[in-house]
């Protein structure tokens, strides 16, 4: 690895230099570090991985921003927040200069745990490691994010895409999807995102009391720009381990997506989230149909109505992934003047996996006050818990905080 010339000439903080000619082309790795000992240690630890070279500059964070503004953004970027009194504001300034697809690593003084969560879970930064660095912390926390010159085989993606579909509008698909996502993220502590495939009239964001995402439609129309960092910027946080990806586009806007846009999106989501809960609604828009075809498991939701009986076979006849498992949910069972569960099962020759009783006071009241129906004990929470277990959501065995030195 070859440090920049300024690293050898003066080991103290440098005035803002002009980027050398080597930075006029996109580099694999560039690091900006506030002090020489840290740069030397990082260089020695990265040497075996970046055999084709990477560059370190010993400059302040302000000088880092100035240099980044005049050079192509590298594939992997390491910055030092030492000396920044407002580190979150500093990271927002950095975000304006970082291109989609760039891996961002940060180091700096010990911060509160909330800061770590904000930059890693909220901003898409891959890691924040506190100084002073050690060879062990660099090897375990930073080095795994450095792309080696000889790349190993990519690890298989192990996340889950769960598509929830109503046989008609008004059967409670969004309510069930939002509460399922909330339970998996909040109670089972799994990184979860709720995806609303109706970008014009969907209400998934409203159900979790967050603003609709900005830029989702544009991202779908340009899938080549889609990556995990772009998703981090577009998705709205609804908890430490829960995000929402939804839109609220104009009803007059024409939404045309190239073929494969949903596949590119879900691949990017699975690189960050363990569970993608997709509310595909009942309208079966093109984006919803493509997402449904990618799901490993689909949840079909009916209510006790003749319309549900009529539409069920039509919905089941739609093409799906051959390996997709199907879970059948009867919502609002026992509703006045509704069909009985027994009659529906006999007519459709099926057996419902999950039955949610009619709760005309509990669910509307929870939605009115912006609360989740699963936040209180009762039959609705029991049903959503059973559904979560049926789709394979379980609390991780290790729920320890990330192994970094932070002030609690």
242-245 vs 192-196, strand pairing mode: parallel
Predicted pLDDT at 4: 38
User: Which whole number is the average pLDDT over 376-392?
Assistant: 93
Predicted pLDDT at 229: 66
Q: Please check the confidence at residue 52 and state whether its pLDDT lies above 70.
A: no
Mean pLDDT (the chain) is 83
Q: Which of 142-146, 326-330, 369-373 has the highest mean pLDDT?
A: 326-330
Q: Using the structure block, give the residue that is written with the tokens 């740069």.
A: 39
- Name the residue with higher pLDDT: 214 or 7: 214
User: Which whole number is the average pLDDT over 301-318?
Assistant: 92
Q: Please check the confidence at residue 406 and state whether its pLDDT lies above 60.
A: no
Residue 266 burial (CB < 10 Å; 0-12/13-18/19+)?
buried
Q: Please check the confidence at residue 11 and state whether its pLDDT lies above 60.
A: no
Residue 94 burial (CB < 10 Å; 0-12/13-18/19+)?
buried
Separation of alpha carbons 214 and 101, rounded Å: 18
Predicted pLDDT at 403: 37
pLDDT band at 272; cut points 50, 70, 90: confident
Predicted pLDDT at 157: 60
Residue 36 burial (CB < 10 Å; 0-12/13-18/19+)?
middle
Contacts of 361 (CB under 8 A, 6+ apart): none
**188-192, 259-263, 326-330, range with the lowest pLDDT:** 259-263
Residue from 252, 249, 324 nearest 291 by CA: 324
Share above pLDDT 70 across residues of the chain, in percent, rounded to a whole number: 85
C-beta atoms surrounding 30 within 10 Å? 26
Q: Please check the confidence at residue 174 and state whether its pLDDT lies above 80.
A: yes
Give the length of the chain.
408
Q: Please, are residues 6 and 58 in contact by the beta-carbon 8 Å criterion?
A: yes
Predicted pLDDT at 193: 95
Q: Please, are residues 269 and 159 in contact by the beta-carbon 8 Å criterion?
A: yes
Q: Could you give the 3-state DSSP secondary structure of residue 151?
A: coil
Backbone angles phi, psi at 342, to 5 degrees: -60, -45
Q: Please, are residues 202 and 194 in contact by the beta-carbon 8 Å criterion?
A: no
Predicted pLDDT at 358: 93
According to DSSP H, which parts of 5-143 are helical? 5-9, 36-46, 61-68, 87-95, 113-117, 135-137
Q: Please, are residues 241 and 191 in contact by the beta-carbon 8 Å criterion?
A: yes
pLDDT band at 54; cut points 50, 70, 90: low
C-beta atoms surrounding 221 within 10 Å? 13
Q: Could you give the 3-state DSSP secondary structure of residue 36?
A: helix
Q: Using the structure block, give the residue that is written with the tokens 């660099």.
A: 138
Predicted pLDDT at 397: 55
pLDDT band at 344; cut points 50, 70, 90: very high
User: Which whole number is the average pLDDT over 291-305?
Assistant: 94
User: Which whole number is the average pLDDT over 315-322?
Assistant: 76
Q: Which domains does the chain have, with CATH numbers?
A: 5-145 (3.40.50.2300), 160-390 (3.40.50.300)
Q: Could you give the 3-state DSSP secondary structure of residue 302?
A: strand
**15-24, 151-160, 220-229, 291-300, range with the lowest pLDDT:** 15-24
Q: Is 58 left (phi over 0), alpha (psi -120 to 50) or beta?
A: beta
Residue 263 burial (CB < 10 Å; 0-12/13-18/19+)?
middle
Q: Please, are residues 200 and 213 in contact by the beta-carbon 8 Å criterion?
A: no
Q: Please, are residues 330 and 304 in contact by the beta-carbon 8 Å criterion?
A: yes
Query: pLDDT, tens digit, for every residue of 64-122?
Result: 999 988 888 888 899 999 998 898 999 999 988 888 778 899 999 988 888 888 888 87
Separation of alpha carbons 121 and 236, rounded Å: 11
Q: Please check the confidence at residue 49 and state whether its pLDDT lies above 80.
A: no
Separation of alpha carbons 269 and 282, rounded Å: 23
Predicted pLDDT at 148: 62
- Name the residue with higher pLDDT: 147 or 407: 147
Return the DSSP state at 407: B
Predicted pLDDT at 396: 64
pLDDT band at 46; cut points 50, 70, 90: confident
Evaluate the omega torsion of the peptide bond into residue 42 and state whether it is cis, within 30 degrees of 0: no
**176-185, 205-214, 358-367, range with the lowest pLDDT:** 358-367
User: Which whole number is the average pLDDT over 262-267?
Assistant: 90
Q: Please check the confidence at residue 297 and state whether its pLDDT lies above 50.
A: yes
Q: Please, are residues 216 and 247 in contact by the beta-carbon 8 Å criterion?
A: yes
Q: Could you give the 3-state DSSP secondary structure of residue 245?
A: strand
Predicted pLDDT at 16: 44
């Amino acid at each position: 690895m070859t440090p920049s010339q300024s690293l050898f000439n003066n080991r103290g903080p440098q005035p803002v230099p002009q980027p050398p000619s080597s930075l006029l082309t996109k580099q694999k790795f560039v690091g900006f570090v506030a002090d020489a000992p840290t740069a030397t240690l990082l260089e020695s630890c990265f040497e075996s991985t970046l055999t084709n070279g990477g560059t370190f500059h010993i400059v302040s964070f302000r000088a880092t921003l100035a240099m980044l503004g005049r050079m192509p953004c590298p594939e992997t970027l390491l910055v030092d927040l030492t000396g920044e009194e407002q580190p979150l504001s500093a990271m927002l300034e950095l975000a304006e200069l970082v291109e989609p697809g760039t891996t961002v690593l940060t180091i700096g003084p010990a911060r509160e745990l909330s800061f770590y969560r904000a930059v890693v879970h909220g901003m898409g930064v891959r890691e924040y490691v506190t100084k002073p660095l050690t060879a062990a912390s660099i090897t375990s926390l930073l080095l795994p994010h450095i792309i080696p010159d000889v790349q190993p085989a990519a690890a298989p993606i192990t996340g889950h895409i769960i598509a929830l579909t109503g046989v008609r509008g008004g059967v409670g698909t969004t309510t069930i999807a939002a509460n399922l996502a909330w339970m998996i993220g909040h109670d089972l502590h799994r990184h979860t995102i709720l995806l609303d495939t109706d970008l014009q009239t969907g209400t998934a964001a409203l159900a979790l009391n967050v603003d609709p995402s900005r830029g989702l439609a544009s991202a779908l129309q340009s899938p080549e720009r889609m990556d995990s960092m772009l998703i981090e910027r577009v998705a709205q946080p609804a908890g430490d381990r829960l995000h929402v990806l939804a839109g609220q586009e104009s009803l007059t806007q024409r939404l045309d997506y190239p073929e494969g846009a949903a596949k590119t999106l879900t691949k990017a989501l699975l690189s960050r989230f363990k569970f993608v809960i997709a509310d595909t609604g009942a309208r079966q828009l093109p984006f919803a149909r493509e997402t449904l075809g990618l799901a490993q498991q689909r949840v079909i939701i009916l209510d006790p109505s003749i319309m549900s009986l009529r539409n069920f076979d039509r919905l089941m006849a739609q093409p799906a992934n051959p390996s997709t498992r199907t879970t059948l949910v009867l919502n609002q069972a026992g509703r006045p003047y509704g069909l009985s569960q027994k009659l529906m099962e006999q007519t459709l020759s099926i057996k419902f996996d999950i039955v949610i009783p009619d709760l005309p006071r509990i669910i509307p009241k929870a939605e009115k006050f912006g609360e989740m129906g699963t936040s209180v004990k009762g039959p609705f929470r029991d049903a959503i818990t059973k559904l979560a277990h049926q789709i394979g959501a379980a609390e991780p065995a290790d729920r320890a905080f990330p192994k970094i030195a932070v002030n609690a």
